[in-house]
Structure 1
């Protein structure tokens, strides 16, 4: 019996009690979502609910009396072994061993689908992340969003959403001019402009352009800069895409900022906002009245010289996404964009949309790579940037993706290279992957004995404390996935996997799965083998959601 099944049982009991007049509630007062939790203390049952505390006032009684009424009826439900009233009105519920053991069968039957839910069924989500300027390799902050964004996309998909991963390609504006000037200066053997970009990658790209266009450095300045701009951006972005692909991250759409300005999309966005009465002209410029939607001041969108202000591209891009049919536009930005959120939400409201629903912005904090206790400094222009290739080279793809997705996005991370490269249980990703490899090894050994997991086996024999802990952990996985999607927090999956790996290791150490010597395989061996197979499914599915491999051997 899973927590969701138990929640349904509690809801059905409440509905029945209301229908019988046994409790003074209206049918509408029966909650659609009943909270079922795992007790923190042993001896308090398998699950607990505070539903009596929530409803007692409406029912005109005290929580313990309502809990006692619920307990009597709930104890009669199939799969429920016993119910006790605790404290001010909590219900501690013990699940029948056979019903609890059926979780293992349900997991194995569901296979790759176990953990999926339909919380976002029918929703189209545009997930924009990374979107680094094509003026240099992706640095650690961008790599964090690559890991978190891709994991979140996988979690949304598992929750029923139709997800489009999108990369906003910033190929328009002054940063591209500085990039091309830096390339041209390198090709001509001149000093990099004061506001330009430094680093070995500039010299490498400049040399590659010269190899392709030997005449380029000798062209007139404007013509030469255009050659270095076009080819430089193309080469830099090709490198970025390859690095992301090698990291296991591919995008469905690469959207070019330059297209917004060339296609007239900015003008269409301004016209739409003008129709809605949220645009006005002052001092020769066109303004968006964002202050009325919660921004600290109104914003210029078309400057007095007729050029679009920075916000103009955002207006056009947001409208384009909505016109492409996306219900939610979710953007992931670095910590330096925190002050940008207010105007973006005001922009969303100015279009008549719902901030926080149609547009969401997640802010990610800084990442530091630590070696020998000292942080590795980074500065793209100084040429000491720590890049996606650096972190993959130091940790490998699996460890890099895992550590970057393991922490809440709004917290800073110090990645200790000494820890995350260890082949030991101190290394969280090793610990989880080793659990999967250990499970796979046991299943191979079982196959050698002619044993395979059978989802029809009698699971009522799974009464050991460690078996119960593992079954309850496996039953939690769908809720963890649903919470990770709802709260936009992939790190919940990682922390769950570590906890479950630990519970499995303790089960393995206390419960012998395979028969020894000439011993015949019995019902308990077969039930435990099914439990092991279910653990493999959950660990593999969870690692997949993080974009991390589930090795068969380590």
Structure 2
């Protein structure tokens, strides 16, 4: 990572902090980073927190903490420290170290990669109408915010789909509700937790109709992939077995990663994150995997499961580009090499992220398609 790269990374962190309402200050046109002076900490230092503190109405140390959270996991950065009155000091990874760290984290954390505790102090009360898209959206939002440490309670109104049959159909869609009826603005159990309405554009169909025509996975994807303020297309295109169907693309990419693992086992080799440096052509996939924790946190904060769906589509496209340009399995009489072991590690990490993201959307990830 060059000083220019680091400057752009810090500026991107400022943009994210402002977009997520963690920081309320004008975004500077550029951020200056400088080599650390003799006796200082790290490789580079930046005074942007002191620059923003006045406009943000926060101590510089608090601004530095907000930015550190958004920079520390970026590829190429090994460590971020806060020094003095609010300077950010950066220690950069050796080339390749950040990529290995991402893949090691995915392997160690599995489907929980990207989960965290940023919302652990929040108690959230969601309420939705008795309508299938609202119910599925609230359920997906619950999964997202819980993955970031929040505690959640969901209530549902009385209008719309009623009866035991409707309850069973919602259960087939993975939806659970904690209470029925319109609750007070704040919960008696926790008066500090205000009621948060979940109001996507209605589906225009009942759970029964959608389940009979599409099944649970395609129904959930069709309801969650569009932003909540957009109409949800729920046609038969959701069942097409082709790469033009994003749901099929994502699940096929996952199934392909599992097939690669089986193929490697048959050839007698396993993945290794330190086997060989990665080709430059795999950079888009590596960057998406490194960015996955940030995407999940942003989706949780904005109550936007559609962001996870778009992330999974991007990972699937990048995986197939990588797979075609850098095959993880040897061909013909070729022997497995260090490059194949490192590519297999990347493929398995992509599969883990795809499966974990689908799980947060309440959608299954079959190993065969």
TM-score by length of 1: 0.52
Cα 1:472–1:327 change in 2 (3 A) is farther
Q: CA deviation at 1:507?
A: 0.2
Matched, 1:428 2:293: no
What is the 5 A alignment of 1:164-243? Answer: 164-169=153-158, 236-243=162-169
Cα deviation, 1:87-143, whole Å, max 9, x if unaligned, reads xxxxxxxxx22332331121111112201021210322222334x2xxxxxxxxx12
Partner of 1:527: 342
Distance 1:31 1:502 in 2: 35
Q: Could you tell me whether the CA contact under 8 Å between 1:439 and 1:535 is conserved in 2?
A: yes
Secondary structure at 1:163 match in 2: strand
Q: Could you tell me whether the CA contact under 8 Å between 1:466 and 1:503 is conserved in 2?
A: no
Distance 1:239 1:366 in 2: 20
Distance 2:346 2:245 in 1: 25
Q: Could you tell me whether the CA contact under 8 Å between 2:166 and 2:208 is conserved in 1?
A: no
Cα 1:404–1:463 change in 2 (3 A) is same
What is the 5 A alignment of 1:90-489? Answer: 96-130=95-129, 132=130, 142-169=131-158, 236-251=162-177, 253-255=178-180, 257=181, 317-318=183-184, 322-325=187-190, 327-328=192-193, 358-367=194-203, 386-415=205-234, 417-454=235-272, 457-458=273-274, 461-489=276-304
Partner of 2:328: 513
Distance 1:323 1:14 in 2: 53
Distance 2:207 2:269 in 1: 44
Distance 1:439 1:111 in 2: 14
Cα 1:47–1:390 change in 2 (3 A) is farther
Q: Could you tell me whether the CA contact under 8 Å between 2:103 and 2:346 is conserved in 1?
A: yes
Partner of 2:54: none
Cα deviation, 1:495-519, whole Å, max 9, x if unaligned, reads 1100110000000000021233454
- Aligned CA-pair RMSD: 3.7
Distance 2:191 2:221 in 1: 29
Partner of 2:28: none
TM-score by length of 2: 0.75
Cα deviation, 1:309-346, whole Å, max 9, x if unaligned, reads xxxxx5xx316x52212643xxxxxxxxxxxxxxxxxx
Q: Could you tell me whether the CA contact under 8 Å between 1:462 and 1:468 is conserved in 2?
A: no
Secondary structure at 1:125 match in 2: strand
Secondary structure at 2:64 match in 1: coil
Q: Could you tell me whether the CA contact under 8 Å between 2:128 and 2:135 is conserved in 1?
A: yes
Q: Could you tell me whether the CA contact under 8 Å between 1:125 and 1:327 is conserved in 2?
A: no
Distance 2:34 2:148 in 1: 28
Secondary structure at 2:322 match in 1: helix
Q: Which of 21, 24, 33 lines up with 2:66 in the alignment?
A: 33
Cα deviation, 1:186-216, whole Å, max 9, x if unaligned, reads xxxxxxxxxxxxxxxxxxxxxxxxxxxxxxx
Q: Could you tell me whether the CA contact under 8 Å between 2:134 and 2:199 is conserved in 1?
A: no
Q: CA deviation at 1:433?
A: 0.7
Query: Structure 1 regions of 5+ residues with no counterpart?
Result: 38-45, 49-58, 60-69, 81-95, 133-141, 176-232, 258-313, 329-357, 369-385
Q: CA deviation at 1:473?
A: 0.6
Distance 1:36 1:536 in 2: 25
Cα deviation, 1:224-263, whole Å, max 9, x if unaligned, reads xxxxxxxxx9xx5211110101112122x233x4xxxxxx
Q: CA deviation at 1:33?
A: 3.3
Q: CA deviation at 1:36?
A: 5.7
Q: Could you tell me whether the CA contact under 8 Å between 2:124 and 2:196 is conserved in 1?
A: no
Count of matched residue positions in the alignment of Structure 1 and Structure 2: 321
Q: Could you tell me whether the CA contact under 8 Å between 1:408 and 1:491 is conserved in 2?
A: yes
Q: CA deviation at 1:424?
A: 0.9
Cα 1:169–1:418 change in 2 (3 A) is closer
Determine which structure has more spread, i.e. the larger CA radius of gyration. 1
| Structure 1 range deviating more: 438-447 or 489-498 | 438-447
Q: CA deviation at 1:15?
A: 12
Query: Structure 2 regions of 5+ residues with no counterpart?
Result: 15-32, 51-58, 78-85
Q: Could you tell me whether the CA contact under 8 Å between 1:466 and 1:507 is conserved in 2?
A: yes
